[in-house]
Amino acid sequence: MTLFEHAGKLLIVDCGVLFPDESQPGVDVILPDFTAIRDRLDDVSALVLTHGHEDHIGAVPYLLKERPDIPIIGSELTLAFVAAKLKEHRIQPRTVHVEAGDTHQAGPFGLEFLAVNHSIPDGLAVAVRTSAGLVLHTGDFKMDQFPLDGRLTDLRHFARLGEEGVDLFLVDSTNAEVPGFLMSERDLTPAIEEVFSTAPRRVIVSSFASHVHRIQQVLDAAHASGRKVAFVGRSMVRNMKIARDLGYLNIPRGLVVDFKKLGSMPENKITLICTGSQGEPMAALARMANNDHEISLAQGDTVLLASSLIPGNENAIYGIINKLIDLGATVVHKGNAKVHVSGHASAGELVYCYNIVRPRNVMPVHGESKHLQANAELAIRTGIPEKNVVVARDGVTVDLLDGRASISGKVRADLVYVDGAAVSGTHERTLAERRTLRDSGVITAVAIIDPDTNNLAEPLEFLTRGFVDNQGALKAAAEAAKAALAREKTGKIDDLGDVENVISSAITRRLRRIYRQPPAVITVAIDA
């Protein structure tokens, strides 16, 4: 989520979610922190959505719960995806449909939209004109020169704005570390066709629910090999219906059938296209690998992983691939076949963009610190002075004043966790406790206390879950707890709560000498 402020008004560009990693167990999605604008929601002139990916639209329902009538500006497919999402939250949005080349005035912000090519159709870059200068935000983009839908990133439009003078250029950094140029989506077709023509049994394709072009390639290959296709997973079924109804997906008559009707069909005539509950492919595959999915894999099935291997999660993904192989499946992924190409411009493409736009100031966006830094270095190599390249992490504010961009401060930008229906009820402390439970288990100590002496009336009893069953360790812990209680001055212990604290800390301290990471300890003290 990016926020622009001018003349007392606010413009929001994108409002997405982050998906949790292994250090955030039990979290469904992570929202941007609205704290900095919560008191100023009435000043928001509009929300611009550059494209329909979850990391750009996923948090829109949560923003609109705070102010439902914020106008949402976007292209046809983006608005359709966000409207479907909002319908599930029973929100009827105010939308403004724009197309590449259009202009629109939102409060003091003069908006202009540019076609960009990405791993979802209908992506837009947005130019923001105010009396303070011209800002150009690429959104997510790449420069496929032979895109499947023929919709190129409009470099001529980028160049026109460059001629006018771009004061601040916000540029997608995701692939700034990847040298050279991406291959075209079109070049994946032979490898995808090969999978379909050689697979002995079912082909199970796992993809992002929004990757309309890749799914079109899969549909075409399935059709050519005489197979039928079923979509599996709520968000996949929903998005493909939207994409087909709006003409972004071309489905030959009779190709797609209901998942439940596939039972009677020969295995080598079946294709399943699936995704996870958040439209994320690995979640579905993980469930299949654990036999916890409506698709149960069998010997001879082929799994086509038509998506990226999410950086940072490689180990988890290879673990899933190994399990799928153990179940008898052949797994085709970007590591062993040309079945995926990224949706983000790599270094060569980014350099082209800098040379075409020739911006006064650059601010890398989208990606982790190393991606932002790599992108900043590319900008500097094209001749943009280092002092005009601003690397700002989440929450950092940047002022554009008299043609010069510079860091001006910071606002609160925490990660806001959604766990089931609870928004922001989950905090770092909760996650730390969950990680302890996951990594080391839990010990409950039951203490019967003599109310006169505040000492143990009976030996401690332990209940453990997920804890290495080590009687020696528990015996040592019990002795440490007993000694700690005996050491306490009577006056210092007021109630059973104090007793519980003394016992818990003594056990934790003792176990830390045996285990690098001691288990969570809960003590329940009862009067004898």
Which residues make up the interface to Zn ion (CB under 5 A)? 53, 140
- Cβ(232)–Cβ(274) under 8 Å? yes
The minimum distance between CB 113 and Zn ion, in angstroms, equals 16
Of the two residues 14 and 33, which places its CB atom closer to Zn ion in the complex? 14
Are 503 and 485 in contact, with CB atoms under 8 Å apart?
yes
Least gap, CB of 165 to Zn ion (angstroms): 28
Cα–Cα distance measured from residue 50 to residue 113, given in angstroms and rounded to the nearest whole number: 9
53 versus 85: smaller Cβ distance to Zn ion = 53
Which CB atom, from 119 or from 130, has the smaller least distance to Zn ion?
A: 119
- Residue matched to tokens 């319908």: 87
| Shortest Å distance, C-beta 368 to Zn ion | 15
How many of the other CB atoms lie within 10 Å of CB of 313?
16
- 122 vs 140 by CB, closer to Zn ion: 140
Decide if 62 contacts 54 (C-beta within 8 A): no
CB count within 10 Å of CB 252 equals: 12
Total residue length of the chain: 528
Angle, CA 153 vertex, CA 147 and CA 159 arms, to 5°: 150
Q: Taking the CB of residue 451, how many other CB atoms lie within 10 A of it?
A: 9
Please state the closest distance from residue 81 (CB atom) to Zn ion, in A: 12
Q: How far is the CB of 249 from Zn ion (least distance, A)?
A: 18
Q: Which C-beta is closer to Zn ion: that of 140 or that of 144?
A: 140
**CB of residue 469 to Zn ion, shortest distance in Å:** 48
Cα 485 from Cα 506, distance rounded (Å): 9
Minimum Å gap between C-beta 118 and Zn ion is: 6
Distances (CA, A) of 19 to 265, 320, 341, 392, 520: 36, 18, 21, 21, 26
- Positive or negative CA dihedral for 417, 419, 425, 428? negative
Reading the block at residue 212, the tokens are 């309309």
Provide, rounded to whole angstroms, the least separation between the CB of residue 60 and Zn ion: 15
Could you tell me which residues are beta bridge partners of residue 95? 72
Least Å from the CB of residue 1 to Zn ion: 14
Pick from 325, 404, 304: nearest CA to 359? 404
> What one-letter code names the amino acid at 177?
E
Q: To the nearest whole angstrom, how small is the minimum distance from the Cβ of residue 318 to Zn ion?
A: 24
For Zn ion, the closer CB: 93 or 367: 367
* 282 or 329: CB nearest Zn ion: 282
- Alpha carbon of 138 to those of 50, 183, 271, 442: distances in Å? 8, 20, 36, 48
- The residue (of 174 and 388) whose beta carbon lies closer to Zn ion is 174
Alpha-carbon distances of 54 from 15, 120, 247, 249, 507, rounded to whole Å = 9, 11, 21, 19, 45
Q: How far is the CB of 127 from Zn ion (least distance, A)?
A: 19
Closer to Zn ion by CB, 81 or 417: give it.
81
Burial class (CB in 10 A: 0-12, 13-18, 19+), 278: middle
Q: Which is nearer to Zn ion, 14 or 301 (CB)?
A: 14
- Checking 186-189 for CB contacts under 8 A at 24+ apart, the result is 186/144, 186/146, 186/147, 186/148, 187/338, 187/341, 188/214, 188/217, 188/338, 188/339, 188/340, 188/341, 189/217, 189/220, 189/221
Q: Nearer to Zn ion by C-beta: 109 or 141? A: 141
In sequence order, the β-bridge partners of residue 149 are: none
